[in-house]
Structure 1
C-alpha cells in the first residue's frame, strides 16, 4: 500500500507543479506590483533582467512559503525523505548531511586539525595554561542504529578514533567522550532526534567525564555550585527546516523538541560576599567551542561549573565552527589581562571533514594600530550574568 501511494505521489507531483507554475506565473506577472526595470539591450546582455526575474521569484511568488512547506510535508509523509541537507533515519531521527560528506581521504584534514590544536596547546603552555580537548562524536555514530538502511556510519567511527589517537600522540590532553555518550543512551537521548545538537543529558554526562579525567591546579579555591532547573523550552529542531517549514511540522507528523534549561548557582555562606564580576582568579576555567557550548539551552557550561567546582567563563560562539572562537580568544584581551588556568576546547568531530574550519586564523593583533578592537571583560561577564538572571 505504501509503495502504491509513493508511486502515485511521484506521478502526481509533476502535474501539480505544472498547474501551479502556470497559475503562479500568471498571477505574478499580471500583478501591478510586479514591474521589471531592466529592459534595455545592455541590461539584457549583462544579465540584469535575469537577476530581476530571480529576485521576483524569491520575494514575490504567490504562495511560495506554504507551497514549499506543504510539498515538504507531503514528501516526508509519503517518501520519508527531506531536502538536501538532511538525512532521514527511522523513527523520526534526522541527521545533518554534513556527517555524510564526500568519500575523501580524511587523514590530511585530521592532520591539519591536530597540527593547529598542537600549536594552540604550545601557545597556552607557554603561559602556563592547561588545554583540555573535548572531541564530540557524531550523532550518526552514536545513533547509527537509526541509519542501518540509509547510510554507512563506519567512517564517522573510524574518524573519531583516528582523531583522538593522533591528539594523544602529540601529548594533547583529550577527554574521550564517545564511550560516555554511548553508555548514557540507556538513560535517555543524548542527542535531540530532530536537531544537530546534544541534549542536556549528553552535555551533563560529558561534563562529568571531564571532571573525572582532569584536575584543576591545586592552588585554586574550590567553589560549590547548586544546579536548578531555570525554565523549560519547547522548540523545533534545526533539521526540521530541511524537511518542511516549521509551520507545517505538525502536519508532517513531526514532534517538537523539549528541554529543561539548567543553571548553576554558587552556594555561599551567610557571612560570605559574592563578587559579581570576580577577581583575577574568579574564572580559572575558560570554555571555548561551538553552539554545543554557546547555546544556553544545552546547559554545558553550567554542568561544568558544578562538576569542576569552579567558575567557568563561556567564550564559545554559535555558527563559527571550532577554530574561529579559539583564535578570537588567543588574540583577545581576556587572555592578556585575565588569563585562566585551564582552557576546555569543545570540538565536534563532524567539522573535521570541512576544509574551511581554520581559514579564519587571524594575524597577531598590532597593539599600536589605531582603533584596535578590545573586549570589555566586565561587560562580557555582566552579559552572561544577565542571561542567567
Structure 2
C-alpha cells in the first residue's frame, strides 16, 4: 500500500470516528439530571449510562440496518408486527397460536361468566362489546400471513358462548363490515379502530339495549369532529427503520380526534349525575381508554347518559374488570349498566392475575360450565 493511500485510509478512519464522536455528543448534551439521584451509590451514573445507551449512534445505526434488511429481504419487522399488503400492519397477537390456548379459552370464559354473576348480584346488567380482530375485518390486506387454527372463527364462537350464557353481545363485526365501505374502521398502521369505527360500535351497543335499561332523563351530547392530521400507529414501533431506511415506513394514517361534550354543561349541584352515581361504567382496554378513538364519548352521545371510564392501556380486558369489581366505587355505588369492551384476540391469552386473591378468582369460576365451546373447532 502506498504512503498516500495509507494516509487516505487513516484520514477516512479518523473522519468516521470524528463524526461518530460528534453524533455521540448529542446523547451527552441531551442528558438531564433526574429530580432525585445519589452520587454515592452510583445511581447518577446508572441513569446517565441508560440515557447514553438509548442514544448511542452505532447502536441506532445497527438497529436500523438490520431492520432495513429484514424489511427489504424478508418483508418482516420485529416480533410483534406482521406486514400485510398495501402498507397495512397487523399485530401478531391476532395470528399466533397460544400456549395451552384451548385451556386458556375455557379459563377466561369461566371468569367472564363469574363476572356476569358478580354484577347480577348487584343488579347490574352486563353488555359485552367484543371487538373483532383487525385481520378479520380486513382479510384482503393480510397477505401471506396465516392464522392459527384456534383463532379461525374465534369471533363467532365467542359470541355464541356469550349468548349461551345469556350475556348480551351484539355482532359488531357485521356492523363494521358494512361501515368499512364508507370509511376506514381500523387504522392501517395501528392496532386500534378509528373514531368512525368506535362510533359505529357505540351506536350498535346503544341500539341493543331495551327500553328502561337506564333510568333517569336522557342527556344530550354533541360530538365535534377534529381536523385530520397525520398519525403514526403503534405498530410502526416494531419497524425501527430510522435513520437509514425511514423512507420505507408506511405513510402515516390520517386521524380525526373527535371530542364529545354535553350539549348543556351543568355546573355544581344541578349536575345530572355526580361522581358516585354514574348510570354506566365502561371497562376495557386501550380501545376504550385512549381518547384518540373517542369510544367513551361516542357511547355518551348514543346512550344519552354519562359514564365512568375504567378502561386501562396495556392490561388486557380482564385485569381492569377485576380491579373495578374490587373498587370502592363499584361496591358503594354500582351502576345500572357495565359495558365491557373485550377484543377477541385476548380470549385465548393468559393474564397475570397474581395481584388478585386466588380464592376469590376460584370462586368466580364456579360453576365452570364451558360445555358449548369447542376450542379446536374449525369455522
TM-score, scaled to structure 2: 0.74
Q: Which runs of 5+ in 2 are unaligned?
A: 1-15, 25-49, 361-379
Greater mean alpha carbon deviation, residues 293-302 or residues 218-227: 218-227
Conserved? CA contact 2:97–2:148, under 8 Å: no
Partner of 2:239: 243
Conserved? CA contact 1:74–1:252, under 8 Å: no
Q: 1:267 to 1:246 in 2, by over 3 A?
A: farther
Alignment of 1:300-339 (within 5 A): 300-339=295-334
| Structure 2 residue 108 is matched with structure 1 residue 118 | no
Q: Aligned to 1:158, which of 153, 159, 171?
A: 153
Instruction: Compute the displacement of 1:245 (Å).
Output: 4.6
Instruction: Compute the displacement of 1:96 (Å).
Output: 0.9
Instruction: Compute the displacement of 1:80 (Å).
Output: 2.5
Q: 1:90 to 1:190 in 2, by over 3 A?
A: same
Match of 2:94, SS? helix
Please list the CA deviations of residues 166-199 of structure 1 after superposition, one character each: whole Å capped at 9, or x if unmatched: 1111111112211111111101211111111111
Q: 1:153 to 1:199 in 2, by over 3 A?
A: farther
Please list the CA deviations of residues 262-283 of structure 1 after superposition, one character each: whole Å capped at 9, or x if unmatched: 22221239x9978569337852
Partner of 1:45: none
Matched residues, number? 318
What is the rounded CA distance, in whole Å, between the counterparts of 2:104 and 2:150 in structure 1?
Answer: 14
Conserved? CA contact 1:101–1:353, under 8 Å: no
Please list the CA deviations of residues 300-323 of structure 1 after superposition, one character each: whole Å capped at 9, or x if unmatched: 000001111110111100011101
Instruction: Compute the displacement of 1:79 (Å).
Output: 3.8
Partner of 1:168: 163
Match of 2:234, SS? coil
Match of 2:248, SS? coil
What is the rounded CA distance, in whole Å, between the counterparts of 1:219 and 1:81 in structure 2?
Answer: 52
Conserved? CA contact 1:110–1:163, under 8 Å: no
Greater mean alpha carbon deviation, residues 154-163 or residues 304-313: 154-163
Partner of 1:294: 289
Conserved? CA contact 2:283–2:341, under 8 Å: yes
Please list the CA deviations of residues 53-79 of structure 1 after superposition, one character each: whole Å capped at 9, or x if unmatched: xx9996686421133124424542454
Q: 1:156 to 1:141 in 2, by over 3 A?
A: farther
What is the rounded CA distance, in whole Å, between the counterparts of 1:211 and 1:74 in structure 2?
Answer: 48
What is the rounded CA distance, in whole Å, between the counterparts of 2:150 and 2:189 in structure 1?
Answer: 22
What is the rounded CA distance, in whole Å, between the counterparts of 1:357 and 1:180 in structure 2?
Answer: 32
Q: 1:281 to 1:334 in 2, by over 3 A?
A: closer
The structure, 1 or 2, with the larger RCO (C-alpha pairs under 8 Å, 6+ apart) is 2
Conserved? CA contact 1:144–1:153, under 8 Å: no
Instruction: Compute the displacement of 1:298 (Å).
Output: 0.5
Conserved? CA contact 1:249–1:255, under 8 Å: no
Q: 1:360 to 1:89 in 2, by over 3 A?
A: farther
| Structure 2 residue 87 is matched with structure 1 residue 95 | no
| Structure 2 residue 337 is matched with structure 1 residue 342 | yes
Q: Which runs of 5+ in 1 are unaligned?
A: 1-22, 32-54, 366-389
Q: Aligned to 2:203, which of 205, 208, 211?
A: 208
Match of 1:220, SS? coil
Partner of 2:78: 83
Q: 1:336 to 1:231 in 2, by over 3 A?
A: farther
What is the rounded CA distance, in whole Å, between the counterparts of 2:179 and 2:240 in structure 1?
Answer: 31
Partner of 1:132: 127
Partner of 1:141: 136
Q: 1:92 to 1:230 in 2, by over 3 A?
A: closer
Conserved? CA contact 1:83–1:243, under 8 Å: yes
Match of 1:346, SS? strand
TM-score, scaled to structure 1: 0.72
Partner of 1:284: 279
Please list the CA deviations of residues 216-259 of structure 1 after superposition, one character each: whole Å capped at 9, or x if unmatched: 52532211111112565533211111122566674114211221
Please list the CA deviations of residues 72-131 of structure 1 after superposition, one character each: whole Å capped at 9, or x if unmatched: 245424543212221111101111111122276643322222211111111111111111
Q: CA RMSD in A?
A: 3.4
